[in-house]
């Protein structure tokens, strides 16, 4: 984890109120540094490598430490769990996606958080996939269900 945070700090301006979590996301023992106020947690490029239970546990832990929590979460489609795009093989042949959803609203309900909004990843990265790949079913699933979503929790809204 430290090399990732070092890379981020070198390439992106860190604001005074930001906190990089250099901890294991799946351990809840050392979360006392999370302020009991309004927090924003960005799960980008990580959720697909975790099991759904692990993501739900992380969200629950962060909600317990926050008066209000916003989660910006990137979710891969279910199709990406079994059919890997060739670009994934180029990075590492052992990469396995463990979680995905084609219904982020349903996931928000499981997590006891409020679904606010969601956008297709392809709306932000229109030129990411080659045009001649449009007939590929996996590419279509990625274009339609690879999403960036905003979820919210506020103490008293939901019972954890």
CATH number at residue 112: 3.40.50.150
Is 32 within the bounds of a domain?
A: no
Distances (CA, A) of 156 to 70, 114, 150, 152, 159: 15, 12, 19, 12, 7
Cα(148)–Cα(73) distance, rounded to whole angstroms?
A: 6
pLDDT in tens, 56-74: 998 998 898 888 999 999 9
Is 14 within the bounds of a domain?
A: no
pLDDT surpasses 90 at 24: no
Pairing of strands 147-154, 114-120: antiparallel
Is 50 within the bounds of a domain?
A: yes
Least confident residue range of 19-28, 53-62, 138-147? 19-28
Is 21 within the bounds of a domain?
A: no
Cα Rg of the chain (Å, integer) = 17
Is 113 within the bounds of a domain?
A: yes
Is 54 within the bounds of a domain?
A: yes
Structurally, how many domains does the chain consist of? 1
Q: Residue with structure tokens 């309004």?
A: 38
Cα(138)–Cα(133) distance, rounded to whole angstroms?
A: 9
Dihedral of alpha carbons 42, 110, 67, 152, sign: positive
Is 1 within the bounds of a domain?
A: no
Q: Tell me the residue range of the domain where 80 lies.
A: 38-154
pLDDT surpasses 90 at 108: yes
Is 18 within the bounds of a domain?
A: no
Reported pTM: 0.75
């Amino acid at each position: 984890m430290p090399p990732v945070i070092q890379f981020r700090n070198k390439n992106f301006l860190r604001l005074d109120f930001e906190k990089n979590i250099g901890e294991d996301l799946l351990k809840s023992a050392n979360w006392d540094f999370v302020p009991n106020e309004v927090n924003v947690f960005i799960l980008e490029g990580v959720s697909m490598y975790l099991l759904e239970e692990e993501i739900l546990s992380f969200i629950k832990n962060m909600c317990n430490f926050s008066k209000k929590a916003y989660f910006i979460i990137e979710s891969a489609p279910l199709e990406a769990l079994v059919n890997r795009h060739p670009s994934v093989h180029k990075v590492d042949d052992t990469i396995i996606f463990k979680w995905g959803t084609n219904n982020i609203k349903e996931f928000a309900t499981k997590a006891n958080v409020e679904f606010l909004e969601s956008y297709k990843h392809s709306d932000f990265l229109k030129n990411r996939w080659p045009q001649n790949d449009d007939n590929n079913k996996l590419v279509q699933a990625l274009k339609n269900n690879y999403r960036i979503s905003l979820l919210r929790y506020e103490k008293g809204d939901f019972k954890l």
